[in-house]
Homo-oligomer: A and B are copies of this chain.
Amino acid sequence: MKHNFGAGPCILPQEVFKQASAGVLNFNDTGLSILEISHRATEFIAVMDEAVSLVKELLNVPEGYSVLFLQGGASLQFAMVAMNLLGEGQTAAYLETGMWAKKALAEAKILGNVNVVATSKEANFNYIPKDYSIPADSAYFHVTSNNTIFGTQMQSFPQSPVAMVSDMSSDIFSREINVADFGLIYAGAQKNIGPAGATLVIVKDEILGKVYRQIPSMLNYKTHIEGESMYNTPPVFSVFVSMLNLRWLKAKGGVAQIQIENEAKAKALYTEIDRNPFFKGTTAVEDRSKMSVCFVMENPDHEKAFLKLAEEKGCVGIKGHRSVGGFRASLYNALPITSVHVLVDAMQEFEEKFKN
């Protein structure tokens, strides 16, 4: 039995794996594999429609927003956001909270001006800046809702005088959000949505079409809105499995219910980190991420031994990113709380063994 704490691509529900595996042999009783059917087939159009509907339902997406399944991951969105929203001579506001935020603003700089309204770079991104203002003449304001590498998460979003754009790759569908607060939300699928290869975009239609730049068709959100995510061949299998996973989330009780479970998982782990004298958290307590729990050991020499012990218990993917070190336990939606208990037990066993 493996307990998959990997940062992504990451664990999805076991029943989704079973359904996906079956669909590769015989999709929807067509006698054909999901891998060999046309994306224009009625059966696949139904999959895409259901995936989009589930996103709208689970996140309570208001009227006036389009939901798209694209390709290229958040990294392509870094460029597409600027290409579609940052007009010539305009400036976009960015909150710099980690490596992904840095990459996002670097891409925007290729196309226009960037104003970093606040950064926590000086503290190795171990907190979320809160004291800043967003100029009302910004083209948009960009935030990264959860920072996988540094283990911080925005617990609330500021009131923005301009369209707020958020990279939610690592916490979308993990907690309730108010979509109406955002102009655009994007997320690589490979955490709480589905397998790598699909990218979710939720965009308020009225913010588009305001820059005069000529945009290649594939990089223009309007192309994909008109084409209903079928302008060209979509990543069929990734959309199919995303649909299965969103069905699972709905059956579980939706985002409100998974949020309760995610909070319980995070609480169990942070409680142990704070209690156990061998471990400590790496971030400001009020900014702790409920998806990406980063921690180190009081004595770094212990880390190798603890990693070995945790792996013996079946815990995989807990090694921290090199820029923080230590450990990172990702607690995505599909990770059961029993896996967290196994990790906590390993921490307690380590304490017992080394306390004298």
* Given A8-B38, A22-B21, A38-B6, residue A78 in contact with residue B218 (CB < 8 A): yes
Additional pairs, 14, CB under 8 Å, beyond known A6-B37, A18-B25, A21-B22:
A2-B32, A9-B37, A12-B33, A21-B24, A32-B316, A71-B71, A71-B73, A72-B218, A78-B216, A79-B218, A107-B217, A195-B237, A197-B236, A235-B235
* Given A73-B71, A79-B217, A216-B111, residue A35 in contact with residue B233 (CB < 8 A): no
Partner of A35, one of B20, B76, B235: B20
CA distance A24 to B106 in the complex (A): 36
Q: Which chain B residue has the least Cβ–Cβ distance from A197?
A: B235
Residues of chain B contacted by A35 (CB below 8 angstroms): 9, 12, 17, 20, 194-195, 241
CA distance A237 to B24 in the complex (A): 12
Interface size class of A (residues with CB under 8 A): 35 or more
Contact, CB under 8 Å: B234 / A196:
yes
Count of chain copies: 2
Query: In residues 179-207 of chain A, which contact B (Cβ within 8 Å)?
Result: 188, 190, 194-198
Q: Which chain B residue has the least Cβ–Cβ distance from A19?
A: B24
A133 lies within 8 A of chain B by Cβ: no
21 A-B Cβ contacts within 8 A? A2-B31, A7-B38, A8-B38, A9-B39, A20-B35, A21-B24, A21-B25, A24-B24, A39-B196, A72-B72, A76-B218, A76-B219, A78-B216, A78-B218, A107-B218, A110-B214, A111-B216, A195-B237, A197-B235, A235-B238, A238-B238
